[in-house]
Structure formats: C-alpha cells, structure tokens
Chain A
C-alpha cells in the first residue's frame, strides 16, 4: 500500500511516511495521550476517594470516567493545534496528526466531541460544579496553555501546569460539590511539581524545542538558568507537600512518605543545580525526570493508603 504514502519530513535523516489520514482505532486512542491520562486518572481517583463525604461507588466510577475522557479530549485538542511543532520534534513526530495517520480536522472534531461529552456526562450524572471545573481544565490546557502560553513565554509550563493539577480537585468536587483548602493543597503539589519535572525533560530534549521554535526555558534563558529554576521550584514544592498534614487531612504515613520522597527530590535537583558546568550534568536530568514521576505517584499513593488504612490524621492548624 505504498502508493498511499508520501514523505512529509526528514527528521535527522530519518524519513517519516505520511499516512492516508484514515486513522485506525489505536491512532485515535493515541490522540488521548494515554500516558498523561493515566496520571490524571490516578490523581483524580485519589481526590474522589479521599474527599470527605460520600459518593455512591458507581457515581464515583462515572466521575472518574468523565474526568479521564476530559483529559483525553485535552490531549486530542493539543495534538490538533500543535501538529506543526510536533512534526519537527523527535519525541512527537510519530503522533497521529503529524505522521498523517489522522487528519487535523478529524482530531479537532474528536477532541471537541469528547470534551463536550465528558463535561455533559459529569454534569448530568454527578454535579455541575465538578463539570464546570472539568470544562475549565480542558479550556485551560487546550486554549490557555496550548494556543497561547506554549508559544509565547518560557514560563509556559509554570502557568500551564495548572491544567495537570486540576484533576484531583475535580475528583474532590465530584464528591463535595465544592473546593476547600485540602483540595487546593493537592492542586498546589502538582502545580509546583510540574516545572522541575518538565524542565528536567527539557534539559535532555532541548534540541527538539529549539527546532520547533518553542520558547522553553532551556531555549530562551539557557541551561544554567533552567538548572537554577529547577532548584528554586523544588524548594517551593517541598513545603507544600506537608500542607495536607498541616490542614488535618493527613497523618504519619503520608508525612513520613513525603519526608523520604522530598529528600530524594532535593537530592536529584541538587545534582543538577550543583553540577560544575552544563556539560557536567551527565544523566542527572533524566534521573530527576524519572524520579519525579515516581515521586508524584508514591506521594499520592501515601495519601490514598492513609485513607484505606484509616490512619488518624494530625489535628492540623485549622483544628
């Protein structure tokens, strides 16, 4: 079937075939960014399960499904809009739209239908406050981050990271019908975790962003500044991880887990910050990137485990 192919780009000497745009089911699944979605599902699950109050397990599952589809919709809209820059980045060139597997218009339609469907489903089946928050999350990722910030400021990921931090808040709102300090603290943890996590990736993928003309911090301000910013955001993140305990929503297990994980995060961030030169970084950015994923997963698991084991939370500053 080679007659349905034509070359679209030459990436570092490797020619990529352009497909016919018909797209398979698995191509459409790839549009949902399943790996990103898995983190969203997990953090939203933690929000739903640990929120005070009661939700019928079936309703909780429906809320989780709607949040997951909403996250997928954001991914599809992102891939539709970013197809031009994805095509010139090694990490993203094989995505369904730049590879030609799915037409851009189809990706847009798919994303819009899923976005509307997920918000409607959450609103009708669970509550409209959570649905509104989910709609705002999708809007924030697709419009504020993807269309505006990503191509205009090196701090794109700092503000844009909020979209990845909303899911536990949406899950929490699905149960409580609102927002409180504990759900905001879960939001803040992911919000402050995102910059060091993403900039660590940028340190070993900087060439990609330069080629795509995306003003990432590594491209605009250089590696030395990125290393400093990783360190500062790590120091900002650490105190916020103790907020759930200070607010009386977490006890010794979560706090102990946070202490150990923070020690690891600080260690890996320090290795980047204290390297004698940019060239001496070695694989420190890769190590921080990998550890940061483990860090967030285990931190939220600790919060979840406390709920499951019925461990009494600390009294907290709010009494």
Chain B
C-alpha cells in the first residue's frame, strides 16, 4: 500500500504540534501536582 509522502512543511507543522501537545501534557500534570500540594498544605494547616 502506498501512502502520500508528507511535504517538508507538513512534517515541520506536525513536529511543532507534537511539541505543543507534549508541553501541554507536561504543564497539565504539573498543575495537578501543584494543586495536590496546595490542598495538602491547606488541609494540614486547618487541622
């Protein structure tokens, strides 16, 4: 089965998107981690 070869522009565009998705996932997981730490500290402070 033959596939259409992606142009250089398409490859570059896809690479940039992959990087953006990777960064977004990293930031998302960091936000959850920081939020957990904030919640733990708030709960410890109130108990």
Distance between B31 CB and nearest chain A CB, rounded to angstroms: 7
Q: Is the CB of B17 within 8 A of A28?
A: yes
Which chain A residues lie closer than 8 Å to B13 at the CB level?
A: 22-24
CA A22 – CA B17 in complex, angstroms? 10
Q: Is the CB of A56 within 8 A of B42?
A: yes
The reply to whether the CB of B47 lies closer than 8 angstroms to some CB of chain A is no
Of residues B10, B17, B35, which shows the largest number of chain A Cβ atoms within 10 Å of its Cβ?
Answer: B35
**Total count of chain B residues near the partner, CB < 8 A:** 15
- A25 to chain B: closest residue by CB: B20
Which chain A residues lie closer than 8 Å to B34 at the CB level?
A: 58
Q: Is the CB of B17 within 8 A of A24?
A: yes
Within 8 A of A (CB), among B1-22: 7, 9-10, 13-14, 16-17, 20
Q: Quick one: which of A4, A28, A62 contacts B31, CB cutoff 8 A?
A: A62
Distance between A43 CB and nearest chain B CB, rounded to angstroms: 22
- B38 to chain A: closest residue by CB: A58
Q: Quick one: which of B9, B14, B32 contacts A125, CB cutoff 8 A?
A: B32
Known A56-B42, A125-B35; contact A1-B7, beta-carbon cutoff 8 A: yes
Which chain A residues lie closer than 8 Å to B16 at the CB level?
A: 24-25
Distance between A166 CB and nearest chain B CB, rounded to angstroms: 23
The reply to whether the CB of A59 lies closer than 8 angstroms to some CB of chain B is yes
Which chain A residues lie closer than 8 Å to B35 at the CB level?
A: 58-59, 62, 125
CA A247 – CA B28 in complex, angstroms? 39
Which chain B residues lie closer than 8 Å to A20 at the CB level?
A: 7, 9-10
CA A20 – CA B7 in complex, angstroms? 10
Question: 0/1 per residue, A1-40, Cβ < 8 Å to B?
Answer: 1001000000000000000101111001000000000000
Distance between B12 CB and nearest chain A CB, rounded to angstroms: 9
Q: Is the CB of A59 within 8 A of B7?
A: no
Residues of B within 8 A of A (CB): 7, 9-10, 13-14, 16-17, 20, 28, 31-32, 34-35, 38, 42
